[in-house]
Amino acid sequence: MRAAAIPEEQGSLRHHRFTFFMRTASTFRKLVVWIIGAALCACQSRDKGAQELSTANAPQVAARHIDSAAVQSAERSLRSFFNASREGSATHDSLPILTACGDDGGSSYFPTTLLAGYSLLPFDMHGDTVVARASVVTVAEQDVDRRSSRFTARQRVREDVLEWDVIPTDTPGQWVVCNGLRFGYLGADSLTTWRPDGASYQTARALVDSIVRTRLLQTTR
């Protein structure tokens, strides 16, 4: 009798152990799922908090108001500057007024280039200063040769996008062009060595005139 009961007790014991194991495994799985869910919620909360903190600490940039009247007035002064800066221009004598920025009376400085043409690009505004951009075509660059106290000049055609600050003066409607490249042939031709061979101020001027004529034809078509 006792020998027959032992397997039954052992079977019952195994059943209880199996049931306990399954319940424990189910509880463990629920616990793991809960821990993972809590961790994800915590991460999302931290990310949201960091984003809110970042947004709160970020500098608030106010939308700039572009004064169209100011830009138009500055554009007129900039066009006058370019037209007076073009090599051989009849309005060259107006440059000192247009560039009177307090840096040596608005005089040009080296290296300098010979301007042939320009195209204005969209402007921006910082405070009361108009930041002007333009695509300029130059035909030569002149610089000081400090080893011989002479000048060097190289003829070439180059197009660059450059930037200037156009600043209002105390006179209403009057602006000066500052903080950018200036143009013009300054050194005496007798003291200037031109490159490449055969180049000279006369050939550079002829190149300027050719580009001006070509652009004029393009605008009149």
* Cα angle for residues 96, 158, 106 (degrees, 5° grid): 10
Q: What is the pLDDT of residues 156-192, one digit of tens each?
A: 999 999 999 999 999 988 999 999 999 999 878 889 9
CA-nearest of 183, 163, 174 to 107 is 183
Q: At residue 56, does pLDDT exceed 80?
A: no
Q: Omega into 196 within 30° of 0, i.e. cis?
A: yes
Average pLDDT, the chain: 78
Does the pLDDT of residue 83 top 60, yes or no? Answer: yes
Which has the higher per-residue pLDDT, 20 or 70?
70
Express as a percent the part of the chain with pLDDT over 70.
Answer: 67
Where is pLDDT greater, at 138 or 221?
138
Distances (CA, A) of 116 to 56, 111, 135, 185: 51, 16, 11, 12
> What is the per-residue pLDDT for 102?
80
